[in-house]
A and B are shown apart, each in its own frame.
Chain A
């Protein structure tokens, strides 16, 4: 990787600061068509992203070909010339260990035979319920990211990942389940069992009359709504740009006083754990909501420097060629735990169309999937079809309790959440 040093050296002669982000990795996957494997794939990925800063003007470019670093560097500098200059306090210096293995499992190797075996275990689990398998996938991945800058920072992180999913159907009832981990600790059989359970037990769903009901959102349904409309309002950029419902509510009680929300980048076995963010800032816990009170927003360097704030090390990257943005690592919802399904409640496993929620004000009206009446912790009668309508901010003031168990859904660690008297539109 001598080219990284060369690019930093050459870039430093042309602009104030240079940042290099390079990622390379290999993944294999095996995909099911019904019960048979019909595709096996190996993917070799690499990408280079360059940012330059010259007198507060930030430029960027990317390429899949690291040999083209000079062309990429020149494009980044050209891009910076058009950018509006802003307050800028410099790229970070090295401050933590130079290697991050928080999300790395050396026993996880991208082997197609292993992926094939994982599919077999999912199918074994699915056989416990009467449902047809429609599709499924097992992926094993290993990648290395390098971030280096002209302030002498050079960090390397290694990641591994396993991704499992299975889709099932019985009559007109569908069921899906998935598992993601950085370690070889998933239970493929449980993934298959759950997908087939949801499909087979949703058969014969009953209608529900329009009205207000207590609902229990699974971590999946909860993640869909939070990701679509709540979490964007915590981005410092959206706050200062006037695109956040929460912009003027810092210090206010915005949700139930029993609930806290924070980002936990150093979570053990977290899916998106890391010692530093996508700009090389050392990560730390970020308290967004403490006991119902809005405590802080998320900042990357660009937004923090511009508005006189501290970076919360919340920069993320969507791959080397995806550019930086404000995000989070392991967004966590915490509070006193209770048995949330003892009393009768409408359980909602997932949602159709959660991404259509209004990110400016939090309003949503979405179709529910794999919904059941639940009582004494047991699934009772399935509900065929209905819409859930409400507001993602208001619903956090109508919390009946959060479950004793958490589940990691992508970059969120969430309980099931019981909500009191939510509006259901029946058909």
Chain B
């Protein structure tokens, strides 16, 4: 049996707080309430690998109790076989950006009323369902480790989604808008998002199906951001590289994409994926994953940096009481110098893909897929017919060479990313990009 003296390192991450959810469906307030959470994780590095305790409703009453938890975790670690080592790291906590208006200072009655206005704005004679959700999560995170590092922060993420469903003669289509932020309460005067969701849903009733196959594609900033996330970001995660399940393993220094392409992950950016320090207490920093088309660095935790090298730690993230995993935060394609007009002209004939319904990657196989909300055919450099249910798939290593132009109009878009059963807030972004030889999925035929 291992004794606490065999412990090489431990850390404790405790997350408490409360969440507010409001759900308005076709004018009915289905729910508008608050819930409370309290979860902790204790990680112990034994002679070889990790022993981990995940505890709901955690409280630390005494040193004696903490020592008993350390002993329990070190007993778990005794069954591990892999020699885990941790890299050195720098420690620093960034300030959480100040909010313009703290959502916790706004009554739930007022929030419900403001959300209802956005939901009402999505109504239209062709729209058969309108739904809006407000999500607010306020977390107090404390971190301490056996090296004496102690940090804490409080962060409030809030935002909303609005959905409109249009129907005509058995055809059903949807429009969807969302806005989530760490910068404070943002429900006021947002009715235009409801109107836009309705306009998209109604317009899609008349959209056709894209004909699948290879073609030139222009990706809007939201979809190109998802492309960066799915096609490159996941494959650069150090744990996948360490396991041998990333196509980018062993590719450091290789030119894998067009020299116009630079892809960044930066948890220090004040966007939705911001972290003041990572889930191991480590300072967060910008990492250039791809620089001018060359594999430059991987995203790392302390463990994967020690095992793989090439990059910096500070990219470990975790849901409450879940083990830190190497994750993206704010991931984007760096601006190029092309204007949108130049990109459309260069495309000439192809397809413009807009918005995102999400995506997925098999990083070991190097295959990705993601879905646009809708698109337009491009003919002679101009948008023509609207198309729906169109997706894009490809092989990472060949596709990155086909990014022919990057625009100068990058924007960031919030979302959530799933991995290992955990979901963390992220943002993705890009300028408009021109992708040559894209494999577009759609059920249309000649």
Contact = CB atoms under 8 A, between A and B. Distances in A.
B54 A42 contact: yes
A58 B29 CA distance: 10
B427 to A, nearest CB: 19
Contacts, number: 257
B109 A82 contact: yes
A369 interface: yes
B97 interface: no
A255 B167 CA distance: 21
Interface string B300-326: 000000000000000000000101000
Contacts of B80: 36-40
Interface string A25-47: 00010100110111111111111
A147 interface: no
A42 B79 contact: no
Contact of A172 (B29, B243, B364, B443): B364
A174 interface: yes
A75 interface: yes
Given A71-B36, A84-B28, A356-B369, A245 B51 contact: no
A160 to B, nearest CB: 18
Contacts of A38: 48-50, 80-82, 84
Given A40-B80, A63-B35, A86 B28 contact: yes
Chain A interface residue count: which class? 35 or more
A116 interface: yes
B390 A39 contact: no
B82 A369 contact: no
Interface stretch (B261-269, B342-350, B354-362): B354-362
A427 B214 CA distance: 8
Contacts of A321: 35, 37
Contact of A363 (B34, B79, B247, B443): B443
A355 B360 contact: yes
Contact of B38 (A36, A64, A132, A391): A64
Interface string A356-375: 10101101111101000000
B36 A361 contact: no
Contacts of B388: 358, 363
Interface string B414-443: 000000000000000000000000010111
B28 to A, nearest CB: 5
A198 B38 CA distance: 41
Given A38-B49, A352-B367, A387-B439, A76 B33 contact: yes
19 contacts: A37-B49, A38-B50, A38-B82, A38-B84, A41-B52, A42-B73, A59-B31, A61-B34, A75-B35, A82-B112, A84-B27, A113-B79, A169-B244, A172-B366, A358-B174, A358-B357, A365-B393, A366-B393, A389-B443
Interface of A: 28, 30, 33-34, 36-47, 58-66, 68, 71-72, 75-76, 78-80, 82-84, 86, 112-113, 116, 132, 134-135, 167, 169, 172-174, 210, 237, 241-243, 245, 321, 323, 352-353, 355-356, 358, 360-361, 363-367, 369, 385, 387, 389-391, 423, 425, 427
Across chains A and B, which 8 residue pairs bring their CB atoms closest together, nearest first?
Answer: A79-B33, A365-B441, A353-B369, A242-B128, A356-B371, A242-B129, A36-B82, A38-B82
